[in-house]
Structure 1
């Protein structure tokens, strides 16, 4: 299997199932699968296409976001199978439905419980990010390297995902906001947040919910670019673990400073 083979599959899904419906979803093509969680016909068609094609490259279980909604046992493959695919057909479905371009198509390959390859495609711009464990991170063929962030928190720009926090946690983080140059809420799309961090638009992102299709691709991309995405206790992110909390930072030193400040 070649890295570009998977990139091609994601581009095909975008061209066939996603972009023709961007800004043109018909009535009945968007439903709420759980409170606040949207799914569209484009999500389902793209996931079916991607899953079928990925199994032709590596015959392994596919843990897709939409398939898991129908069969919650699927993520067990991430710890029980020697290899498994992870697929998010449209990350940022809410943005997609609203006609905003901040959405992505993502995939990752997991071997022995660890993410070994990752792909993030931004369909509207056509930009593709790829990473392979031990080999680096790339944007459209250009090697990516994240520069260290400033040591002073007052110079840092970050995002905190507060949707799944309780009121006390939200209040505490709001109280920390003045210590940073800016503290936002992210793009509602991990496939946008991680590349922004890698390319220096953000210095850190703090997540609570850490579903594999949201974070397996981005954590590998950031780590291979020289950044640092770990659990707040310093342990690695493993996509098969059912845990909360993930801090993504520009570099290891920033991670250490921020995990104390944001704990």
Structure 2
């Protein structure tokens, strides 16, 4: 666990942090409309990939490597074990000079994340989780307490494009939730908010594995839930799989949030 954390910190120090608010002309590329990558992403991924292979010689599924060769993501289904790497989660924030970005990795076995690491370069905060062994922030065990029973006290996150008729609980007036925000544009920043007790639920639609595998394990190991809307636990599937993911600080909050989102909560009527 410590070796991987060191790899992320060192790659960040070498490739990412020197370019924060100092990107030169030509160091930002648009992979697709609105989807940015920088030389820092690519360099950090190369460093992390090499070092992780030295630690455990299994395939590495990196966000930027998959952008160049989408077939690499099949390792998540076809290989018994592989690494997942997101060299800069929140690249848009990084490019804009906003501090909400993270460097992340996870180890996946048979489609399930068994270990995860999230590094916040700006705040120098390290999160980690190991399946069945717990979640930590800077070496301190994280145990999330259940949310207040009243949804009017809950703090949640849901992207604005999900609030257009698909989910009644996101368009209801007044809202059943106490606070509903757009989010921080970086899953590696948002998931720790659940483990740290600053948020009660997160609702995502598109779930790329490098974005969600680390945080899902962190939340589960701190006492929370990360599951599809049908209740099946989150798995690190290749891009293009099932959409929709609800994350909550405890099982009861997950179930009530799902019911509210789908307009099936009798208690709110």
TM-score range, shorter chain: over 0.9
What TM-score do you get using the length of structure 2 for normalisation? 0.93
Question: Which of residues 10, 17, 22 is equivalent to 1:24?
Answer: 22
1:7-33 Cα distance to aligned partner (Å, 9 max, x none): 000001110000000000011101111
Q: Does residue 238 of structure 1 match 2:210?
A: no
> Are the structure 2 counterparts of residues 166 and 181 from structure 1 closer, same or farther at C-alpha, using a change threshold of 3 Å?
closer
Give the equivalent residue in structure 2 for 1:216. 213
TM-fit CA distance, 1:74: 1.2
Q: Secondary structure at the match of 1:188?
A: coil
Contact 1:64 1:88 in 2 (8 A): yes
- Distance in 1 (alpha carbons) for counterparts of 2:261 and 2:17: 38
- Provide the secondary structure at the position in 2 that maps to 1:169: coil
Q: Over aligned residue pairs, what C-alpha RMSD do you find?
A: 1.4
| 1:89 Cα deviation after fit | 0.3
Contact 2:88 2:102 in 1 (8 A): yes
Name the residue aligned to 1:225: 222
Residue of structure 2 equivalent to 1:159: 157
Structure-1 residue corresponding to 2:267: none
Q: How many residues align?
A: 260
Give the structure-1-normalised TM-score: 0.96
1:135-179: CA deviations, max 9, x gaps? 00000110000010011110101000234x484337862336622
Distance 2:170 2:155 in 1: 14
The 3-state SS of whatever aligns with 2:199 is: coil
Match of 2:118 in 1: 120
Structure 2, unaligned runs of 5 or more: 263-269
Structure 1 unmatched runs, 5+: none
2:89 to 81, 88, 91: 91
The equivalent residue for 1:262 is 261
Kept after mapping to 1: 8 A contact 2:163/2:171: no
Contact residue 162 and residue 208 of structure 1 kept, 8 A: no
Match in the other structure for 2:71 = 73
Deviates more, 1:117-126 or 1:169-178: 169-178
With over 3 angstroms needed to count, the CA separation of the structure-2 counterparts of 1:252 and 1:172, relative to structure 1, is closer
Which residue of the partner structure matches residue 193 of structure 1?
190
Q: Which residue of 2 is the match for residue 42 of structure 1?
A: 40
Local SS of the residue matching 2:165: helix
Give the Cα–Cα distance (whole angstroms) in 1 for the partners of residues 243 and 76 of structure 2: 17
Distance 1:29 1:113 in 2: 34
